[in-house]
Amino acid sequence: MSNTYWLYVVMVICTVSSPGPGVLMTLDNAIANGWRASLSGVFGLALGAAMMAGLTSAGIGLLVRSSQPLFLFLKYCGVLYLFYLACITWRREVRRVAPGAASGHPVQPSGRWTRLVRGVLLQTSNPKSLLFFLSVLPQVVDGTTAPAGRPLALGVAIATYCVVLVVIHAVYAALAARARNWLSQPRAARLLSRISAAVFFAFGIMMLTLKF
């Protein structure tokens, strides 16, 4: 492995582990549904990242970056989706449970496929993902001396990103799940829902400031 690849790994770790909508979704899923159930959302984020990386390698990323209408369309789709997540998180209710029973949880807990799709949509509607791959992947692939080896280098780079994302988010989910018994009590869960909704909304506002 070249030094460029290991530098790329460090960049991926820093990017994936930094707080953002994806991390917030993982924490929220783990608290509401448990560690194992939250993994479907994590896999959705990884799948969405692979799709964005694939689009970038196919030249779509450069097209979006060079076309202001396309860039703005993707940005506003991401903003609207973050606002949607803020809305459903704010309105999520918890039901009271009898003493000694399992902790409170959403009246209609999200299903595995719902969490997977939400993860994909969150990742693919974020133009920052596209810009990251657009700026980083060429550096990794071009570092390969033999042109015939570039598809392999691209595949390794995308797989590395997805694996790092799954591992780091699984750790986040495990930490959040440990506090689930307290955080999923009706009063605490309601407060957490309000805070999560506010953060999703704040990320949406921040995305509005993203310049072309």
188 is a domain residue: yes
105 is a domain residue: no
- Confidence band for 150, pLDDT divided at 50, 70 and 90: confident
Collapsing DSSP to helix, strand or coil, 106 comes out as strand
173 is a domain residue: yes
pLDDT at 48 over 60: yes
Domain that residue 75 falls in:
3-99+110-209
Looking at residue 146, its pLDDT comes to: 62
50 is a domain residue: yes
104 is a domain residue: no
83 is a domain residue: yes
Q: In total, how many domains does the chain have?
A: 1
pLDDT digits (tens, 9 = 90+) for 10-47: 888 988 888 788 888 998 888 888 899 999 999 999 99
SS3 content of the chain, % helix, strand, coil (to 5): 80, 0, 20
The structure's pTM equals 0.75
pLDDT digits (tens, 9 = 90+) for 198-212: 888 887 888 787 675
Residue 94: beta bridge partners? 106
Residue 172: beta bridge partners? none
Measured distance CA(206)–CA(191) in Å, rounded = 23
